[in-house]
Chains A and B, each alone.
Chain A
Amino acid sequence: MAKRKSSPRNWLNRDLIDATVFFIILGLVWEFSVQLFAVKAYLLPALSDIFREAWASRALLLSESLVTLKEVVLGFSIAVISGIAIAAAIYFIPVAKRTIYPLMIALQSIPKIGLAPIIIVWFGYGLGSKVIMAFLFAFFPIIISTLGGLAATPKQLEEHFAALGASGWVTFWKLRVPFALPSFMDGCKVAMPLAVIGAIVGEFVGSNDGLGNLILLATGSSNTALTFAALLAVTVMSLLLFFILERLGKLVWWRAL
């Protein structure tokens, strides 16, 4: 038991040190090459200018981030709930496997960026259309990973539960669901950054606020430092959301066994 508890911590420490050193070096290279080669600020600002701009515009960045965050979280949550429901339907109902499953694959094959304009027409400039975009980008990996997880239960354990006289319902909750959780969590980790992309795409195509909107405005007015600051905010938000999922994923530690 000691092994399981201590090894991830060591791993994290070492990883953290390596990563920090690497990123500091990368940042220094950026900072000094921009100065050394006298790159024009509207093309690529120095890292320090980006941080300065980010600090100066912190209130704006925060409010725009919250708009985007809300879109992402709502879209992702709807994707998770509907993804589980659709996966369960496909798993339990044979006719759903023959009808809904191909429909999902067909939907996934549509380039969703191409759907963005019509989504804006249908759902307006506000929150709704961005939530739908985030949802559209995120739901497919969740369906696939949930289905894969549900199929991952070892045959001999199914027989074991049958021998114990477990009902189908009990077998589902006490055997299949726990076995499906690690794969489902993987699906969530794939889906979360996609939800962020979906929301940003939605904001690009039509919106009055959000980080995607800010990126467009800043780039249009040649305030490249602000563009990068907004990109930084998107990245930080994505990382934070991913980190939360990573922590939740630790709860299903039996994945690697």
Chain B
Amino acid sequence: MRALESISCDIKDCEFVSMLGPSGCGKSTALRIMAGLLTFEGDSVRVGDKDVTGPVDEAGIVFQTSNLLPWRDVTGNLRLGMEVGNHAGGNAEEQLPQMLRTLGLSDFAKAYPHELSGGMKQRVAIGQALMRKPRVLLMDEPFGALDALTRDHLNVELLRIWQAERKTVVLVTHSIAESIFLSDRVLVMSERPGRIIEDVLIDLPRPRDPSTTRQDPKFGAYVVQLSKIMGIV
């Protein structure tokens, strides 16, 4: 079973790109290929000037489930990514206080995952990926399992963190509004076997804010445009 057709795209440094598509279109597969978790047929996947052949130090990945270790508190989970693999993050202890502040979790440094809400766990997962100072942050429907309110809130948080950290972000989502609100570019994918059917530049001013960005007439126009591409309207 082929999950993906040939896919080709270039993502610029510090660009925020969403891959938008229906369930099962292979967007998660594409993300796993970028992370070096799956092998593929085709030319190459490159991060910076290196070919991806296995799990990449330059990539931080955030999954739909937060994947925190239940026996480690927030601090311990943030440290995990620097303990178990290669990374460019430097000293974990120096980064921790700032990272906890960035994530808004300073008061929860010693809390265990079962004491956190779903949104907080996902923030820890993002922090864990960021601690490694990756060039690229790969996110696989990171807010897919959260309720709508928490999701909106975390979208704003993610933009704030992104602006502070200046990372290249590739986000897999099936939410049109989320992809427009967050991204510089939206890659729309077809049904399985997935391929990129449209590359839409999102020309909305930054910093974005839920109260103004979504009022922008262009926001509504993008929703219509993307819905049409996806065949919803």
A residues adjacent to B (C-beta < 8 A): 1, 4, 156-157, 159-166, 170-171, 174-175, 178, 252-254, 257
Contact = CB atoms under 8 A, between A and B. Distances in A.
Contacts of B70: 254, 257
A253 B56 CA distance: 34
A175 B63 contact: no
Contact of A1 (B36, B86, B112): B112
A156 B63 contact: yes
B55 A164 contact: yes
A163 B55 contact: yes
A164 B115 contact: no
A4 B115 CA distance: 10
A174 B67 CA distance: 13
Which 8 interchain pairs have the tightest Cβ spacing? A165-B85, A166-B84, A254-B70, A164-B85, A160-B67, A165-B55, A163-B61, A254-B71
A162 B71 contact: no
A252 B71 CA distance: 8
B113 to A, nearest CB: 8
B80 interface: yes
A4 B112 CA distance: 11
B57 interface: yes
Interface in B1-47: 35-37
Contacts of A170: 84-85
Given A163-B61, A165-B57, 15 more contacts: A1-B111, A1-B112, A1-B115, A156-B65, A156-B67, A157-B69, A160-B61, A160-B63, A160-B67, A164-B84, A165-B86, A170-B85, A175-B69, A254-B70, A257-B114
A166 B84 CA distance: 5
B31 to A, nearest CB: 10
Contacts of A166: 84-85
A250 to B, nearest CB: 13
Nearest to B84: A166
A164 B68 CA distance: 13
Counting chain B residues whose Cβ lies within 8 A of the other chain, the interface size class is 20 to 34
B84 A174 contact: yes
Query: How would you classify the secondary structure of chain B's contact residues: helix, strand, loop or mixed?
Result: loop
B37 A164 contact: no
A6 B83 CA distance: 32
Contacts of A254: 70-71
A252 B69 CA distance: 13
Given A174-B83, A254-B71, A163 B35 contact: yes
A159 B40 CA distance: 17
**For A159, A164, A253, which residue has the most chain B Cβ atoms within 10 angstroms?**
A164
Given A1-B115, A156-B65, A257-B70, A163 B84 contact: no
A110 B216 CA distance: 77
B55 A159 contact: no
A175 B132 CA distance: 19
Interface string B66-105: 0101110000000011011111000000000000000000
A252 B70 CA distance: 10
A72 to B, nearest CB: 30
B37 A163 contact: yes
Nearest to A173: B84
B206 to A, nearest CB: 29
A218 B90 CA distance: 71
9 contacts: A1-B112, A162-B37, A163-B61, A164-B55, A164-B80, A165-B55, A174-B69, A174-B80, A257-B113
Nearest to B86: A165
A101 B76 CA distance: 37
A170 B110 CA distance: 24
B37 A161 contact: no
B69 A178 contact: yes
A164 to B, nearest CB: 4
Given A164-B80, A170-B84, A174-B83, A159 B63 contact: yes
Contacts of B69: 157, 174-175, 178
